[in-house]
Amino acid sequence: MSIQEEAGLILKLYELRREETMRKARDWYFREFNPQSMAEFSAAIYGEHSGHVRMVVTYWDMAAALVNRGAISLDLFNDANGEHIGTFAKIEPLLGEIRKAFGPQFAMHLEKLVDATPDGRKRSAATREQMQAIRAQLSGQSAQAARN
């Protein structure tokens, strides 16, 4: 595939991310979805935000499959995207349990892409730590505002 065709796929993926429902799902996923246990993951997947979880994870799993199958080069994809690392970071600690409950294919392509990415697991861990620090900071700001 030519670099121009790969770029066209990257732009199509970006266009899909801009769709209104997908934007809402991504916003919820990154702001509100912070599962620390399988029970919390299950509550989300069976609750009112089930569509959001599924939409975000399956979108990035689909995009990862394009990379894994050679439709988009790993380097170009990683140059143009980073959100897939954050998506994976939120589910990575629970992935074994999730797969036992929902099937061994859950986020398989996404995991393969992260593993193919140089320092992919380190990036995932660092992203998870960064997101935890941001949540702690925001929580501290909320507590401070409540006291004032």
Query: Which structural domain, as residue segments, surrounds residue 79?
Result: 3-137
Domain count, the chain: 1
- Concatenating the DSSP letter of every residue in 79-141 gives HH--HHHHHHHHHGGGHHHHHHHH-TTTTHHHHHHHHHSTTHHHHHHHHHHHHHHHHHHHHHH
Residue-by-residue pLDDT tens, the chain, 148 positions:
799 999 999 999 999 999 999 999 999 999 999 999 999 999 999 999 999 999 999 999 999 999 999 999 999 999 999 999 999 999 999 999 999 999 999 999 999 999 999 999 999 999 999 999 998 888 777 666 666 6
Is residue 142, in this structure, part of any structural domain at all?
A: no
Is residue 89, in this structure, part of any structural domain at all?
A: yes
Is residue 23, in this structure, part of any structural domain at all?
A: yes
Is residue 148, in this structure, part of any structural domain at all?
A: no
Is residue 144, in this structure, part of any structural domain at all?
A: no
pTM equals: 0.91
